[in-house]
């Protein structure tokens, strides 16, 4: 029997792209900080001149799948992380944005064969979003960890 498992201890060779939405950047900026902190503490070079990590900003979560698709299909990355925040109180089309971004991200991963981490918060209020972006815990950190796990796991499983 072979057991495939992602590892967190040898992230040095992983190439990672992060797509971040500017909408609600009070929240998404915090998610990004938490995510980069996690990656950095696991040996990823997150510096400005990093050859391991690239960052793409999009206007809102609706645009995330398009950029994720371009990056995942480039063959340059082991894993793509998406970060966004859709808050029900802010938008009458909450359900549309959430549906598009969640289905879009899942489709990109399936079609490209590259893992895409779904780091889009969907909450009723700004307070709830902030609680998940640093006031209580920072889910950005978890998304970083999940990216390391999936990047490593995909490398270990024969295509």
* Positions in the binding site for ligand INI (CB under 6 A): 21, 23-24, 59-63, 84-87, 90-91, 97
- Residue 44 or 108: the one with the smaller Cβ distance to ligand INI is 108
In the complex, what is the shortest distance from the CB of residue 107 to ligand INI, in angstroms, rounded to a whole number?
17
Q: How far is the CB of 140 from ligand INI (least distance, A)?
A: 15
Q: How far apart are CA 91 and CA 98, in angstroms?
A: 11
In the complex with ligand INI, the residue whose CB is nearer, 104 or 151, is 104
CA distance to 46, 99, 106, 114, 141, per residue, from 38 (Å)? 10, 28, 23, 20, 5
- Name the minimum Å distance from CB 148 to ligand INI: 25
Q: Is 93 a catalytic residue?
A: yes
**Contact call for residues 101 and 120 (beta carbons, < 8 A):** yes
What is the rounded distance in angstroms from the CA atom of residue 63 to the CA atom of residue 158? 32
Which spans in the chain are helix H? 25-41, 64-73, 94-112, 126-131, 139-156
Burial (Cβ within 10 Å: 0-12, 13-18, ≥19) of residue 19:
buried
Comparing CB distances to ligand INI, the nearer of 15 and 25 is 25
Residue nearest to ligand INI (CB): 60
For ligand INI, the closer CB: 6 or 119: 119
Given 76, 93, 103, 136, the catalytic residue: 93
Q: Please identify every residue annotated as catalytic.
A: 93
């Amino acid at each position: 029997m072979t057991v495939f498992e992602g590892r967190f201890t040898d992230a040095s060779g992983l190439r990672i792209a992060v797509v971040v939405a500017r909408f609600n950047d009070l929240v998404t900026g915090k998610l990004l900080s938490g995510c980069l902190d996690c990656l950095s503490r696991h040996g990823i070079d997150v510096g400005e001149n990093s050859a391991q990590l690239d960052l793409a900003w999009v206007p809102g979560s609706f645009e995330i799948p398009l950029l994720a698709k371009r990056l995942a299909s480039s063959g340059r990355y082991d894993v793509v992380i998406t970060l966004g925040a859709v808050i029900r109180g802010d938008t009458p089309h909450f359900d549309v944005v959430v549906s598009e971004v969640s289905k879009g991200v899942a489709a990109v991963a399936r079609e490209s064969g590259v893992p895409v981490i779904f780091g889009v918060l969907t909450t009723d209020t700004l307070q709830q979003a902030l609680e998940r972006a640093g006031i209580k815990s920072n889910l950005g950190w978890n998304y970083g960890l999940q990216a390391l796990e999936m990047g490593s796991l995909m490398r270990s499983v024969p295509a």
